[in-house]
């Protein structure tokens, strides 16, 4: 189950309803005090809190106005455990909205806002006596079935969902008059639904980060509780044994007291508190040099805790049947060296590719923002009326976003390198690093980017035309590398853009790949080492990411043929393969492999031209 959209009302700065869509990776950018952190805090309230502070209610909203936080989920499981370990379908229980999504609203009411109501907005029966079944007890459901002359002989009458289904199925579907309504589920199936929702972990920018702080201990205690949960049967046996032994000696002691003071003995009864095994264990973090983590630099402490969440999320995503995970990190660049910032972002990008993990982050850092796809950025703007809204992903908003990030002139920039997207950046950075180790005339583009002398400009899709024109007046050399896409005799897809760049002064040059795209320049042996499978041959205009994704799918043992997979899922698998090709497989490229996969040496031509400006 994945989070698709969040709606917030009456929570802090969001007095009016605020809506933000959520992808597998979502980066929220805004000026200070515009509400970036509030979005993450609202999600914390939805997933993990039953009460919020009175100050969390928007100014001007009275106590009669509840705080409302709505989360809409896609990819809802086909079955959930709801009543007495019975597996049911959310679709058959009429719990999904008109789009087939699970839409849940938590309302926090009162002077000290508390979650007293939880609603599911769903296409649900609206006909009287069929529209309120979730609110009924077992006895009331049986009585309702009797009133409607529904035969319950063949169903389990101890299970609410079985009786509900029998009642709903007793009439033709059209007679249920399905309508989108709000169903109150706090007192019925909310606990079961809550257990099926993704786990949400929030890492705040200003959180304490010493190993003995409560905030730092929380994830470690969480890990202890999870480890103990796997041994619950054995722990219960130990607890029962201890309880029996203690109660036995306690009763014997009371009998001895009764011999001396019967009145006192009559007042004593053994009351055995339940064992809290998580308090038996504690964890302290110490480096190899015996320096405790809380004595290390703030950047090291923060990096550890962020990566604890990463490791936990990866562990959960690898476990069969584990819930999905949403990892929310506020300003991951805080206290980090620029190199660590890029490494951390790369790790988060990789994590977001996991089928069971979503990543939300906020940032002020233009270096990080530049590496994120534009359609994954949510730019929050504050209008003159102080109402917040997410700006559309268009040219005008992109310019305002650039100004918001406060990008200062960098007089160290020696060259702009225009590519079609982040995957091309990874390919060039990794291939150049491998070649630069043995070829002195090849620059290490990753080192140049970190030094600030090279700036990549992702120009894919509709933004390519925009960028090729806007860079013209900056008087900084440009090297553009564009995918051909179209096989001969058709001209390259972006031939007109390349021609305009090449028509400028000598400082601007555009190359077009001789093959379909950069993935066609990766050697099959590097692909095989990364994926465990690879095409037998790679032709210049093969769709390599699609081919590799299909091979990986076939090797996974899935019972569903590639052609029968939903188009959206196929695209995601292809996107993941493309990402791994330009990272893992590109890292496995050697000089010899590039010689074989790029016999005309076009990659070296690009890199040497860039190197002339560095």
Rounded to whole angstroms, how far apart are CA atoms 233 and 99?
A: 42
> Nearest to residue 607, comparing CAs of 414, 418, 421, 444?
444
Quote the CA–CA distance of 486 and 405 in Å, as a whole number: 37
Tokens of 216: 């730092």
Residue 214: the pLDDT is 44
> Rounded CA gap, 320 and 375, in Å?
31
At residue 72, the 3 state secondary structure works out as: strand
Assigned token pair, 345: 């972002």
C-beta of residue 171 within 8 angstroms of C-beta of residue 299: no
Does residue 286 sit in helix, strand or coil? Answer: strand
Alpha carbons 70 and 505: distance in angstroms, whole number: 54
Burial of 254 (0-12, 13-18, 19+ CB in 10 A): middle
Please report the pLDDT score of residue 244 as a whole number.
Answer: 80
Instruction: Name the residue with tokens 């990543």.
Output: 359
Report residues of the chain scoring pLDDT below 50.
84, 208-217, 317-318, 320-321, 408, 462
- pLDDT value at position 265? 61
pLDDT at 569: 86
Note the pLDDT of residue 241.
Answer: 81
* Residue-wise pLDDT tens digits, 157-175: 888 888 998 999 999 999 9
Give the long-range contacts of residues 240-245, CB within 8 A, separation 24 or more.
242/275, 243/272
* Calpha distance 191→526 (Å, rounded): 48
Rounded to two decimals, the pTM is 0.69
Per residue, what are the HEC states of 44-62?
A: HHHHHCCECCHHHECCCCC
Q: Which DSSP category does 581 fall into?
A: I
Sheet holding 357-362, edge to edge: 199-203, 325-330, 357-362, 25-29, 377-382, 388-390
CA angle 391, 392, 395 (to 5 degrees): 105
d(CA 507, CA 472): 10
Distinct helix (H) and strand (E) counts, the chain = 21, 18
Helix (H) or strand (E) holding 482: strand 478-482
DSSP conformational letter for 370: H
Q: Which residues contact 180 (CB under 8 A, 6 or more apart)?
A: 97, 98, 121, 122, 123, 124
Is residue 156 within 8 A of residue 164, CB to CB? The reply is no
Q: Write the CB contacts of 171 (distance below 8 Å, at least 6 apart in sequence).
A: 130
Whole-angstrom distance, CA of residue 161 vs CA of residue 85:
11
Q: 570-595 as b/e, with b when 16 or more CB fall inside 10 Å?
A: bebbbebbbbbbbbbbbebbeeebbe
Distance, in Å, from the CA atom of 531 to the CA atom of 584, rounded to the nearest integer, reads 9
CA dihedral 229, 235, 237, 240 (to 10 degrees): -110
* pLDDT on residue 511: 95
* 385 Cβ contact partners less than 8 Å away, ≥ 6 residues apart: none
CA dist 521 to 251, 389, 565, Å?
80, 43, 28
């Amino acid at each position: 189950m994945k989070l698709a959209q969040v709606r917030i009302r009456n929570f802090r700065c969001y007095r009016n309803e605020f809506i933000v869509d959520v992808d597998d990776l979502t980066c929220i950018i805004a000026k200070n005090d515009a509400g970036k952190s509030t979005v993450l805090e609202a999600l914390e309230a939805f997933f993990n809190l039953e009460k919020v502070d009175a100050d969390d209610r928007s100014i001007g909203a009275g106590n009669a106005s509840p705080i409302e936080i709505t989360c809409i989920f896609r990819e809802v499981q086909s079955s959930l455990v709801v009543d007495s370990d019975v597996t049911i379908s959310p679709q058959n229980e009429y719990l999904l909205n008109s789009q087939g999504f699970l839409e849940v609203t938590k309302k926090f009411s009162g002077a000290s806002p508390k979650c007293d109501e939880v609603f599911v907005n769903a296409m649900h029966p609206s006909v009287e006596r069929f529209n309120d079944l979730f609110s009924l007890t077992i006895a009331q459901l049986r009585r309702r079935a009797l009133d409607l002359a529904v035969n319950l002989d063949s169903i389990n009458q101890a299970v609410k969902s079985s009786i509900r289904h029998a009642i709903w199925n007793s009439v033709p579907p059209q007679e249920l008059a399905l309508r989108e309504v709000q169903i109150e589920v706090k007192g019925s199936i909310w606990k079961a639904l809550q257990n099926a929702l993704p786990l949400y972990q929030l890492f705040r920018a200003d959180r304490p980060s010493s190993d003995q702080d409560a905030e730092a201990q929380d994830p470690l205690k969480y890990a202890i509780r999870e480890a103990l949960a796997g041994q619950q049967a054995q722990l219960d046996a130990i607890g029962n044994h201890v309880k029996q032994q203690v109660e036995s000696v306690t009763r014997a002691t009371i009998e001895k007291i009764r011999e001396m003071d019967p009145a006192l003995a009559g007042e004593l009864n053994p009351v055995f508190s339940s064992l809290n095994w998580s308090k038996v264990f504690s964890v302290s973090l110490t480096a190899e040099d015996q320096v405790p983590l809380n004595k290390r630099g703030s950047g090291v402490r923060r990096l550890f805790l962020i990566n604890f969440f990463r490791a936990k999320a990866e562990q959960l995503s690898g476990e069969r049947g584990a819930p999905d995970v949403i990892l929310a990190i506020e300003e991951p660049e805080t206290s980090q060296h620029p190199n660590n910032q890029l490494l951390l972002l790369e790790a988060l990008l990789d994590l977001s590719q996991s089928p069971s993990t979503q990543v939300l982050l906020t940032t002020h850092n233009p270096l990080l923002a530049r590496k994120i796809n534009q359609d994954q950025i949510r730019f929050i703007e504050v209008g003159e009326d102080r109402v917040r809204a997410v700006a559309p992903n268009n040219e005008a908003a992109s310019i305002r976003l650039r100004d918001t990030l406060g990008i200062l002139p960098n007089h160290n920039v020696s060259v702009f390198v225009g590519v079609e997207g982040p995957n091309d950046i990874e390919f060039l950075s990794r291939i150049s690093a491998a070649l630069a180790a043995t070829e002195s005339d090849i620059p290490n583009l990753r080192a140049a980017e970190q030094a600030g002398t090279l700036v990549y400009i992702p120009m894919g899709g509709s933004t390519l035309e925009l960028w090729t024109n806007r860079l013209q007046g900056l008087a900084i050399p440009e090297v553009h590398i564009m995918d051909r896409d179209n096989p001969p005799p058709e001209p390259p897809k972006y031939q007109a853009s390349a021609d305009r760049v090449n028509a400028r002064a000598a400082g601007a040059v555009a190359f077009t790949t001789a093959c379909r795209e950069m993935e066609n320049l990766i050697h099959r042996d590097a692909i095989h080492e990364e994926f465990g499978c690879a095409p037998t041959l790679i032709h210049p205009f093969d769709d390599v990411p699609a081919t590799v994704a299909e091979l990986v799918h076939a090797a996974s043992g899935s019972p569903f043929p590639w052609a029968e997979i939903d188009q959206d899922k196929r695209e995601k698998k292809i996107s993941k393969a493309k990402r791994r090709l330009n990272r893992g497989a590109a890292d496995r490229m050697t000089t010899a492999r590039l010689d074989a996969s790029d016999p005309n040496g076009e990659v070296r031509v690009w890199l040497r031209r860039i190197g002339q400006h560095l």
